[in-house]
Amino acid sequence: MNCETCGAKAVMARPGRCKEHFIEDFERRVHDTIKRFTLIQDGETICVAASGGKDSLALLHVLKDHHPIEALSVDEGIAGYRDQTLDDLRSYCDAHSIPLRIVSFEDLGAKRLDAETHDHPCSVCGVLRRKALLEYAHDYDLLATGHNLDDEAQTILMNLLRNNDTLNARIGPRIERGDLPARIKPFYLTPEREVRAYCLLQGITTNFSECPNVVKSFRWRVGEHLSELERDVPGAKRNIVERFLQQQFEDDEELSTCPRCNGPSSSGVCQACSLTISAAHR
Ligand code: SF4
């Protein structure tokens, strides 16, 4: 297969792209997404939520030459996994002079994730990570995350399968949250396979290891089914996300606020505060 732009040997299919044109096209489409959803406006300060995995490293790479950025990472306490991605993140940020702050679950008053056995580790982890990012990114205008098209299609489908419409108010390319930094997703329309290819071709990382807990999550199972569907119906993930966008503009929902931390909550005290209160009493 050849590159549809220059005829050189393609490194990516659908559409065929050589290395140079794939990278150019990838970055152009991310910046188009930023414009389409007005994700970043002049003068807004940006904190990138970075784990050191492929998505966040690629996001730092795409944004760093266009916007002043800083990185914030959360160390959940997952031995043998997070230590490695944090090393990659430190190296990347050092090499590109990006200020980096790392906070741990213990800094929040909670325990390391691997200090206890959890039936649903991702639920606990997700809630506490969100809380850490909200607390430590408070002074920025924007919190940019590396969520990609696959992540978003999974989330929409998960909410649909659980008949949980309220959670749809927490997704979308730019989520305004009162006094808190708006959450933005520049890879909102970028497939995961392209993020991976971009990392390899740009030499950003070759570490695509996943958290050992991921296979216990509902998200993982939904992701597996979705990828199978995508093979039968190319474009299925994009179609799910575009359909959601149409619906969201028709029916924009409001989140209520946690009375304890002022963060977003579907009702009353948020899950993060409930978890830190119960850890303090153990
Ligand atoms: Fe946390 Fe689950 Fe992600 Fe692991 S897979 S980092 S436990 S949310």
Tell me the pLDDT tens digit for each residue of 108-163: 999 999 988 888 899 899 999 988 988 899 999 999 999 999 999 999 999 999 88
The model scores a pTM over 0.85: yes
Whole-angstrom distance, CA of residue 185 vs CA of residue 149: 10
Say what the pLDDT of residue 276 is.
78
CA triple 34-136-72, angle to 5 deg: 55
More confident residue, 56 or 168: 56
Whole-angstrom distance, CA of residue 147 vs CA of residue 59: 9
Q: Angle 54-63/82-95 helices, nearest 10 degrees? A: 10
Give the percent of the chain with pLDDT over 90: 72
* pLDDT class of 250 with cuts at 50, 70, 90: low
Nearest CA to ligand 1 atom 5: 214
Residue from 54, 117, 124, 125 to probe ligand 1 pocket by mutation (most atoms less than 8 Å from CB)? 125
Residue from 82, 217, 221 to probe ligand 1 pocket by mutation (most atoms less than 8 Å from CB)? 217
| Half-sphere exposure (Cβ direction) of 59: Cα atoms closer than 13 Å | 31
Q: Which of 66, 70, 71, 74 is nearest to 39 (CA)?
A: 66
Average pLDDT over the chain, rounded to whole?
Answer: 91
Residue 264's SS3 state is: strand
Q: Are 49 and 186 in contact (CB under 8 A)?
A: no
* pLDDT class of 272 with cuts at 50, 70, 90: confident
Sign of CA dihedral 262, 265, 269, 273: negative
Q: Are 148 and 195 in contact (CB under 8 A)?
A: yes
Whole-angstrom distance, CA of residue 53 vs CA of residue 85: 6
pLDDT per residue as tens digits for the range 208-234: 989 999 999 999 999 999 999 999 999
Which structure tokens are listed for 130?
């969100």
Q: Is any ligand 1 atom within 6 A of the Cβ of residue 125?
A: yes
- Judged by average pLDDT, the poorest of 20-24, 59-63, 119-123 is 119-123
Q: Is any ligand 1 atom within 6 A of the Cβ of residue 52?
A: no
Say what the pLDDT of residue 279 is.
64
Nearest atom in ligand 1 to 82's CA:
6
pLDDT per residue as tens digits for the range 256-269: 778 888 777 777 88
* pLDDT class of 78 with cuts at 50, 70, 90: very high
Taking the centre of ligand 1 as the mean of its atom positions, its distance from the CA of residue 124, in whole angstroms, is 9
**Between β-strands 142-144 and 174-177, what pairing exists: parallel, antiparallel or unpaired?**
unpaired
Whole-angstrom distance, CA of residue 41 vs CA of residue 133: 21
Residue 124's SS3 state is: helix
Say what the pLDDT of residue 165 is.
72
Q: Is any ligand 1 atom within 6 A of the Cβ of residue 151?
A: no
Whole-angstrom distance, CA of residue 187 vs CA of residue 191: 8
